[in-house]
């Protein structure tokens, strides 16, 4: 006989599974069992059905799929005997869940069982219903459950009460039916029924306002009396747990009182006595007692303030905090976090204990304590607390360092009383845990540094000292390199000394040494090396004597395999060698970064367009990321959502000469060129002056800033067509030598495409002309032509466009923004679209045109899908 | 609400009893159990019994070779849950007499029945051992 036939008893199967040594064996055994069970199921075998189901449940617990057993459950439930029903319902609850349709079939059996004479079967049915019913089942069977709420047997009543909770959750409309029966439930003597009645009451209160009011009026005294009885009750062996009679009931009652008393002064008054009694009388040397005290404290905190109770509560928490049991301390810390919002002073008293907890060996307690400290910090204690935290930073574990660093940085940023302290603390943090510091933080640090002009000398000297000691912290190196580049002359000549500094002698060569070490170290990443190169450029202008040495260092990077470094080093090299006359102008001191602007950007505000105008002019062209028109962007919306916060980062990147691929892959190369080019372009005022920010149609999906002053040689440096570096440098050198725009190379048109009428309304017509360059089939140059069909003049004409993700769009400034009427003139605007799915998908575009007509704003929107197919 | 799940796991990480009060697919359950068990087993005696995992808290306690893990909402009173775990163990002890891991394994359905009497839909229903064990003893007598 097959040893795994359905005759196997549960325990034999378990033994067999336990005897397996490997997972594969176990799977084999389980598979055999499942096969035999399946055979038994299809045979409709009556005798062993409940045994099979028990086996199935075990197998399910191990994690194997068991859906073939679901019908078995149903058959078992329909069987007359109690053991079969028991197993059937158990199987039902374990193997099925409310989303299965099979559940509907059970509804009828459940209904019959709910009306059964045997109360245990009724109990079973209620249990199953309470655990697993779906909304339809709830609706069907709710009347039965209501009736059972008044059944003679208390066990049934309690189960019916819990079942009602689930029904209410599934079908909120039925809640009103249950409000009345609950009142009688709350007067019960039987603890089980009382417990569930209270639970039901709490749920009803959470569910609706009227129920809450009703219960407040009717049941307050009753509940307080019940609690008093329970607290004062004599020893009851049934419900006694370590000397306290039924702590679960205590806790439930307290929770209900919390819900009732929250926000209501009268209710809070009536319960204040009993709360005080519980708080003082309960013994706290056992866990049960502590549990009750915890709940009591939580209740006191949530109800309206009654004199003295709050003080009592915080004292209890203080006692908890000094308890040696970790569980209690954890719970106390948790509570204190909520208490801080209520009563800050009292919690401050326990500050030292909390600080001790930050250094505890238990990870949960550390985390909680750190959060609590963060909530406690304010202007008066920030210096002491920060000092403690930074000291601890040196000895903390790696995984905790990340959290700790983030918190310290936020505290320092928000509450620093003066700049010098801020810079000091940040330097310490960077030296200790620089690698955990986030990008926004060190950007913010640099903003602050530029703003504190009297501290420049001090800062750069401190950084110099710091980097000698802990040169392995990447972020520290970056900040130091940037400052040394900027303020190198202050470093060498000891300018701007503060009283508390000792003089140090740093020669020019020393400064260059530091940068050289940073660039050569193999652990430095791309951003750091790129920053080093720019710093070297600045130093070569500030320390002319070291030019040759700097040139040598830069030359070594010319052959780097990373495009960014190669390009920068070549550009810098050519500046040093050929263009000394403009070099000093190039690398003048950075303009002071406006802190308000920066924090506004950091908050991800998209309204930065207006703010960008306030930037100093040397960076004029940089930042018309002008409102990337998120609302227009239902195509590719997440691109722009990513664009908005990174636009803040982008802005700062430009100024920090850090525009590398670390920020977003798309903008990688273009940003790089931009940061190199921006400074040049602006100072050289090449080509047309930087356009007025507001009127030009902004770029949308592609994160490149639209270089409006792009002259065609630089056109070739754009995203999609990856130029060779040599080509870009020659283009730039031509630019520099020429000092003027070279004539755009004639674009010979590739295959000709007929112009299309893209958009036409009663007042406006838009036509597109196309041209392609022969070498790049994916890029299309388009010229948009707007004509006015009405007789009025349109002013403030703005055209905006959005494209799906597989396309990239470049818009150039329009020829004008006034459109005279009757087709007397037209506005033209050039666009360039790059189709990464060229050949597979055609171009689609959504447009929005806004203009002013007789001083009223008009908005027109449309979608263009009639682009030629192979564009 | 309240209690999300109750697990009993031995020191090697094998699940001996699993009762869920919210719906999770089989895959999710396995990953969940794996993660939690690893976290709890790695902690030593001195550390506190509450672990935070995703959106809820795990309260656990070790009895001999078996870990009892209860997953609860964030608002629940953790000390009360510890009491509940102890109550569960005492109830099983009264029924089986010196309960051990093998008892639970071989009488899985009885353990489930007991748990069912005590917790319904995530809330604690009954805390008196006599009341919990009465139906089970009745069933044993008739079968």
Give the angle A593-A482-A455 at the CA atoms, nearest 5°: 60
Tell if the CB–CB gap between B124 and A195 is shorter than 8 Å: yes
Q: Are A6 and A36 in contact (CB under 8 A)?
A: yes
Distance in angstroms (rounded) separating the CA atoms of residues A291 and B81:
9
Question: What pLDDT sits at residue A744?
Answer: 38
Which helix or strand (DSSP H or E) is residue A155 part of?
helix A154-170
Closest-CA residue of chain A to B140? A83
Residues 73-102 of B with CB under 8 A from A: 77-80, 82-84, 86-87
Whole-number Å distance between alpha carbons of A596 and A745: 44
Q: Which residues of A734-756 are buried (b: 16+ CB within 10 A; e: fewer)?
A: ebbeeeeeeeeeeeeebeebeeb
**Mean pLDDT, chain B, integer:** 85
Rounded to whole angstroms, the Cα distance separating A534 from A536 reads 5
Structural contact between residues A396 and A435, judged by C-beta atoms closer than 8 angstroms: no
Which own/partner contact pairs does A302-305 have at CB distance under 8 Å and 24+ positions apart?
A: A302/A258, A302/A261, A302/A262, A303/A257, A303/A258, A303/A261, A303/A262, A303/A264, A303/A267, A303/A268, A303/A271, A304/A261, A304/A263, A304/A264, A304/A265, A304/A268
Alpha-carbon distance of A431 to A474, in angstroms, equals 9
Distance CA A655, CA A616 (A): 11
| Dist. CA A538–CA A487, nearest whole Å | 9
Choose the closest CB to A90 out of B78, B109, B129. Answer: B109
Neighbour count for residue A2 (Cβ, 10 Å): 9
Q: Residue ranges of the alpha helices (H) in A434-562?
A: 439-451, 456-469, 474-493, 508-520, 526-542, 547-556
DSSP-based three-state secondary structure for B138: helix
pLDDT value of residue A450? 79
Give the integer Cα–Cα distance in Å for A347 and A334: 12
More confident of the two residues B63 and A417: B63
Cα A763 to chain center, whole Å? 45
- Nearest chain B residue to A236 by CA distance is B128
Rounded average pLDDT over B92-120: 87
Neighbour tally for A649: CB within 10 Å: 18
What is the model's pLDDT at position A673?
Answer: 40
- Chunked in runs of 10, what are the mean pLDDT values of chain A (871 residues)? 53 81 85 84 74 80 79 80 81 74 78 81 81 78 83 82 82 79 79 81 80 80 80 73 77 83 78 82 79 84 76 81 81 81 74 79 78 79 80 76 80 78 81 78 80 78 80 80 80 71 73 80 80 82 80 81 84 81 74 66 45 35 35 37 40 49 36 41 40 36 34 36 38 41 40 72 80 73 81 79 82 78 76 78 82 80 79 67
- CA separation (Å) from A124 to A71, A369, B92, B137? 19, 46, 20, 15
Residue pair A123/B86 in contact by the 8 Å Cβ criterion: no
Residue A63 Cα, gap to closest chain B Cα (Å):
6
**Residues facing A811 on adjacent strands:** A831
Contact A831, A811 (CB under 8 A): yes
Long-range pairs, A89-92, Cβ under 8 A, ≥24: A89/A124, A89/A125, A89/A127, A89/A128, A90/A57, A90/B109, A90/B112, A90/B113, A90/B116, A91/A53, A91/A56, A91/A57, A92/A128, A92/A132
Cβ density class B105-120: b for 16+ within 10 Å, e for less: bebbbbbbbbbbbbbb
Length of chain A: 871
How many Å apart are CA A811 and CA A833, to the nearest integer?
9
Q: Given an 8 Å threshold on Cβ–Cβ distance, is A82 in contact with B19?
A: no
CB pairs under 8 A between A and B: 147
Q: In Å, how far from its chain's centre is CA A13?
A: 48
CA of B68, closest CA in chain A: separation in Å?
Answer: 16
Q: How far apart are CA A344 and CA A381, in angstroms?
A: 13
Which helix (H) or strand (E) element contains residue B18?
A: strand B15-20
Residues 6+ apart with CB under 8 A from B54: none
Give, to the nearest 10 degrees, the angle between helix A398-415 and helix A439-451: 30
Q: How far is CA A133 from CA A120, A156, A165, A540, A563, in A?
A: 19, 18, 11, 77, 62
Q: Which residues of A touch B60 (CB under 8 A)?
A: none
Q: Which helix (H) or strand (E) holds B16?
A: strand B15-20
CA atoms within 13 A on the CB side of A46: 4
- Kindly indicate the confidence band of residue B1, based on its pLDDT and cuts at 50, 70 and 90: low
Which of 19-48 (B) contact A at CB < 8 A?
19, 21, 23, 26, 29-30, 46-48
| Cα–Cα distance measured from residue A764 to residue A794, given in angstroms and rounded to the nearest whole number | 10
Find, in chain A, the residue whose alpha carbon is nearest to that of B32. A63
Work out the minimum CA distance from B136 to partner chain A, whole angstroms. 10
pLDDT digit string (tens) for B2-57?
888 999 988 888 888 888 888 778 888 888 888 888 888 888 777 778 888 878 88
| Cα–Cα distance for residue pair B16/B9, rounded to 1 Å | 5
Q: Are A453 and A417 in contact (CB under 8 A)?
A: no
Extract the tokens encoding B74: 């964030």
A155 to chain B: closest CA residue: B131
Chain A environment of B15 (Cβ under 8 Å): 61-63
Nearest to A94 by CA among A47, A58, A136: A58
The contacts of residue A566 (CB under 8 Å, 6+ apart) are: A557, A558, A559, A560, A725
- The torsion of the CA quartet A136, A139, A140, A146, rounded to 10 degrees, works out to 150
* Bridge partner list, A318: none
Q: Cα angle at A681 between A677 and A685, to 5 degrees?
A: 175
Question: Among all chains, which residue has been given the structure tokens 């209620």?
Answer: A126
Q: What is the pLDDT of residue B6?
A: 92
**Cβ–Cβ contact B15 with A under 8 A:** yes
- Going by pLDDT thresholds of 50, 70 and 90, the confidence category of residue B68 is very high
Compute the average pLDDT of residues B72-96: 88
Distance CA A154, CA A561 (A): 81
User: d(Cα A414, Cα A424) in Å, to the nearest integer?
Assistant: 15
Whole-number pLDDT of residue A598: 64
Contact A283, A243 (CB under 8 A): yes
**Of A58, A295, A328, Cβ closest to residue B77:** A295
- Residue linked to tokens 């009388």: A281
Q: Which of A413, A401, A561, A367 is nearest to A473 (CA)?
A: A401
Range A559-565, long-range pairs (CB < 8 A, 24+ positions): A562/A526, A562/A529, A563/A669, A563/A672, A563/A725, A564/A526, A564/A530, A564/A660, A564/A661, A564/A668, A564/A672, A565/A526, A565/A529, A565/A530, A565/A533
Give the chain A residue whose CA is nearest to the CA of B86.
Answer: A241
Q: Work out the number of other CB atoms within 10 angstroms of the CB of residue A1.
A: 5
Q: Is B120 helix (H, G, I), strand (E, B) or coil?
A: strand
Residue A263 gets which letter from DSSP? T
Long-range contacts of A384-388 (CB under 8 A, 24+ apart): A385/A351, A385/A355, A385/A411, A386/A411, A386/A412, A386/A425, A388/A355, A388/A358
Minimal CA separation from A324 to chain B, in Å: 10
Tell me how crowded residue A567 is: count the other CB atoms within 10 A of its CB.
24
Q: If pLDDT is split at 50, 70 and 90, which confidence band does B70 have?
A: very high
The verdict on B108 touching A (C-beta cutoff 8 Å) is yes
User: Is A246 close to B29, i.e. CB distance below 8 A?
Assistant: no
Long-range CB contacts for residues B101-106, cutoff 8 Å, separation at least 24: B101/B10, B101/B16, B101/B64, B101/B65, B101/B66, B104/B8, B104/B16, B104/B17, B104/B66, B105/A14, B105/B16, B106/A10, B106/A11, B106/A14
Give CA B6 to chain center in angstroms.
Answer: 4
């Amino acid at each position: 006989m097959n040893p795994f036939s359905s005759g196997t008893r549960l325990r034999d199967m378990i033994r067999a599974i336990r005897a397996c040594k490997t997972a594969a064996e176990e799977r084999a055994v389980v598979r055999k069992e499942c096969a035999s069970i399946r055979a038994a199921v299809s045979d409709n075998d009556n005798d062993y059905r409940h045994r099979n189901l028990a086996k199935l449940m075990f197998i399910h617990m191990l994690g194997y799929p068991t859906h073939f057993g679901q019908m078995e459950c149903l058959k078992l439930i329909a069987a007359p005997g109690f053991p079969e029903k028991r197993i059937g319902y158990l199987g039902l609850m374990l193997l099925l869940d409310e989303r299965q349709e099979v559940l509907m079939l059970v509804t009828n059996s459940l209904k019959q069982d709910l009306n059964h004479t045997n109360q245990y079967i009724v109990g079973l049915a209620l249990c199953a219903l309470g655990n697993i019913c779906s909304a339809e089942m709830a609706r069907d069977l709710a009347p039965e459950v209501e009736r059972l709420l008044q059944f003679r047997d208390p066990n049934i009543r309690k189960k019916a009460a819990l079942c009602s909770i689930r029904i209410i959750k599934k079908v909120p409309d039925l809640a009103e039916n249950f409000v009345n029966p609950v009142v009688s439930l709350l007067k019960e003597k039987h603890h089980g029924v009382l417990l569930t009645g209270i639970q039901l009451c709490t749920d009803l209160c959470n569910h609706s306002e009227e129920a809450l009011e009703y219960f407040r009026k009717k049941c307050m005294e009753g509940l307080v009396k019940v609690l008093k009885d329970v607290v004062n009750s004599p020893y009851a062996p049934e419900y006694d747990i370590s000397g306290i009679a039924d702590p679960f009931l205590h806790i439930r009652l307290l929770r209900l009182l919390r819900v009732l008393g929250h926000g209501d002064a009268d209710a809070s008054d009536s319960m204040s006595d009993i709360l005080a009694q519980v708080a003082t009388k309960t013994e706290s040397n056992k866990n049960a007692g502590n549990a009750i005290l915890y709940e009591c404290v939580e209740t006191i905190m949530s109800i309206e303030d009654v004199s003295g109770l709050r003080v009592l509560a915080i004292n209890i928490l203080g006692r908890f905090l000094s308890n040696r049991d970790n569980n209690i301390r954890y719970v106390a810390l948790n509570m204190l976090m909520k208490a801080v919002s209520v009563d800050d002073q009292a919690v401050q008293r326990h500050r030292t204990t909390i600080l001790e907890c930050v250094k505890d060996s238990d990870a949960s307690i550390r985390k909680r304590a750190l959060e609590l400290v963060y909530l406690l910090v304010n202007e008066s204690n920030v210096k002491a607390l920060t000092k403690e935290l930074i000291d601890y930073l040196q000895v903390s574990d790696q995984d905790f360092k990340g959290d700790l660093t983030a918190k310290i940085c936020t505290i320092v940023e928000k509450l620093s009383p003066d700049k010098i302290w801020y810079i000091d603390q940040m330097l310490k943090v960077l030296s200790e845990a620089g690698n955990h510091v986030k990008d926004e933080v060190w950007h913010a640090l640099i903003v602050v540094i530029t703003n504190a002009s009297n501290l420049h000398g001090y800062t750069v000297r401190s950084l110099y000292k710091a980097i000698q000691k802990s040169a392995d912290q990447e972020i520290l190196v970056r900040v130091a390199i940037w400052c040394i580049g900027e303020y190198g002359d202050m470093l060498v000549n000891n300018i701007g000394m503060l009283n508390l500094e000792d003089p140090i002698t740093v020669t020019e060569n020393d400064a260059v040494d530091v940068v050289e070490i940073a660039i050569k170290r193999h652990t430095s990443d791309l951003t750091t090396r790129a920053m080093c190169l720019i710093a070297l450029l600045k130093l070569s202008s500030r320390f002319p004597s070291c030019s040759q040495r700097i040139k040598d260092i830069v030359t070594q990077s010319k052959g780097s395999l990373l495009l960014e470094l190669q390009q920068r080093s070549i550009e810098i090299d050519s500046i040093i060698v050929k263009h000394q006359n403009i070099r000093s102008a190039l690398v003048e001191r950075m303009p002071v970064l406006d802190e308000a602007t920066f924090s506004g950007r950091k908050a991800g505000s998209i309204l930065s367009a207006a703010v960008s105008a306030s930037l100093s002019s040397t960076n004029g062209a940089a930042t018309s990321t002008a409102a990337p028109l998120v609302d227009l962007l239902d195509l590719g919306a997440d691109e722009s959502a990513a664009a908005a916060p990174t636009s803040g980062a982008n802005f700062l990147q430009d100024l920090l000469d850090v525009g590398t691929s670390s920020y977003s892959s798309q903008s990688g190369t273009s940003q790089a060129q931009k940061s190199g080019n921006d400074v040049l372009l602006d100072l050289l005022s090449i080509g047309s002056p930087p356009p007025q920010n507001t009127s030009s149609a902004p770029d949308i999906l592609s994160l490149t800033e639209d270089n409006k002053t792009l002259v065609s040689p630089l056109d070739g440096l754009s995203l999609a067509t990856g130029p060779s570096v040599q080509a870009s440098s020659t283009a730039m050198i031509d630019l520099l030598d020429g000092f003027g725009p070279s004539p755009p190379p004639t674009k010979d048109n590739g295959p000709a495409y007929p112009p299309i009428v893209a958009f036409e309304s009663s007042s406006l017509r838009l036509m597109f002309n196309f041209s392609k360059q022969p070498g790049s089939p994916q890029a299309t140059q388009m010229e948009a032509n707007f004509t006015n069909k009405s007789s009025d003049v349109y002013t403030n004409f703005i055209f905006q466009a959005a494209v799906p993700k597989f396309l990239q769009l470049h818009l150039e400034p329009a020829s004008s923004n006034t459109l005279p009427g009757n087709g007397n003139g037209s506005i033209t605007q050039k666009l360039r679209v790059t189709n990464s799915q060229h050949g597979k998908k055609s171009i689609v575009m959504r447009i929005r045109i806004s203009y002013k007509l007789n001083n009223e704003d008009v908005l027109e929107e449309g979608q263009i899908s009639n682009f030629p197919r192979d564009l | 609400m309240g209690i999300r799940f109750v697990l009993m796991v031995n020191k090697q990480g094998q699940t001996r009893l699993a009762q869920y009060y919210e719906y999770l697919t089989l895959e999710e359950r396995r990953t969940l159990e794996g993660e939690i068990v690893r976290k709890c087993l790695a902690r030593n005696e001195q550390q506190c019994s509450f672990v935070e995992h995703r959106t809820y808290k795990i309260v656990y306690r070790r009895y001999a070779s078996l870990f009892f893990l209860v997953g609860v909402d964030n608002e629940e009173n953790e000390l009360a849950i510890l009491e509940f775990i102890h109550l569960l163990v005492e109830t099983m002890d009264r029924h089986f007499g010196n309960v051990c891991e093998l008892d639970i394994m071989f009488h899985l359905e009885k353990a489930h029945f007991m748990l069912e009497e005590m917790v319904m839909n995530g809330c604690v229903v009954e805390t008196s051992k006599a009341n919990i064990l009465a139906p089970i003893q009745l069933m044993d007598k008739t079968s």
